[in-house]
Structure 1
C-alpha cells in the first residue's frame, strides 16, 4: 500500500473537538507547524512560513487527545497525509489533513505526565491533576541516579 506517512512537529492551534460517533470516537484539531532557520545577516533564528494541518484521531487515540491536549501544547504527530482539493464558491481550495497514528507531547520543549487510560474512560474538558516528577538541584543527568523519584502533585 502506497501511503504518504509524515511526522509533523508543531503546536496545537485549536482546542481539540471530541465526538462520539456510531463508528467510534473521533477527535480533530488544527496543528500549526512553523519552520525556523538561521539568518546569517541577523545572526539569529528566524521564523519561516507557518503551515496548518487538520489532525484527525480515532478510537482510543481520539479519547486520549480529548483529555490530554489543549491550545498551545507542543506536539509531534505521525500519520497519513491526505491532501484534499474542493470547489467552494467558484474557488478551488486545498487542505492538508493528517490521519494520525500517534500523537505525543514534544518533550524537547517541556515535561509531561503519562497515565494509561481504560477504554471505558470518556474525556473531560477540565484539566486533570497528574503527578509531576520533580527534579531537584542535586540530581545528575545519569538515569540510574533518577530511578527513585517521588511524585509531586501539581496544583
Structure 2
C-alpha cells in the first residue's frame, strides 16, 4: 500500500536483457529521462541533467517488451520505484529501479502498430490454433 508509483517519459538507453528464469520470464533495460525546460533568459528550450533508471519487467510484460523495444525509442514506463543505496569500495552508491507495471511507446514522438498476443488453448490441435488467430 505504501509503494511509490511513478510514470517516466524518456528513451531506451540499452538493449533489453531478456532471460527465462525459474520464476518466469524477466527483462531489464536502462532508461534515460532528460527533463526539458524553457530558459526564459535565453528564450530557448534547454535540457536538464539526465537521470538513468533500471527498468525491470516480469512475465508477459517481459516477453512482449523483448519483442517490441529497441535502443533509442521513446517510451513511457509506469511502475513501482525502488531506490537502493550501497557502499562500494568505500563510496556511497545509489541506484533507482522501476518494477514496471506498464510500458508503451510515446506516441507524441512517433507511431506504433499494436499486435494483440493471443494465448492459445493448450487443448487445441495445431490446425485449430491457426484457425483461432
1:9 and 2:6 matched: no
Aligned 1:94-113 pairs, distance under 5 A: 94-113=94-113
For structure 2, which runs of at least 5 residues remain unmatched after alignment? 121-133
Distance 2:54 2:89 in 1: 21
Structure 1-normalised TM-score? 0.75
Residue in 1 that maps onto 2:89: 89
1:22 and 2:47 matched: no
Greater relative contact order (Cα < 8 A, sep 6+): 2
- Does structure 2 retain, via aligned residues, the 8 Å contact 1:24–1:59? yes
Q: How many residues align?
A: 120
Deviation of 1:116 after TM superposition, in Å, equals 1.3
Structure 2-normalised TM-score? 0.87
Distance 1:65 1:59 in 2: 10
Tell me which stretches of 4 or more aligned residues in structure 1 moved more than 4 Å: none
Aligned 1:1-155 pairs, distance under 5 A: 1-118=1-118
Cα RMSD for the two superposed structures: 1.1
Over residues 5-61 of structure 1, what are the superposed CA-to-partner deviations in whole Å (9 max), with x where a residue is unaligned?
000000000010000000000000000000100011221111011100000000000
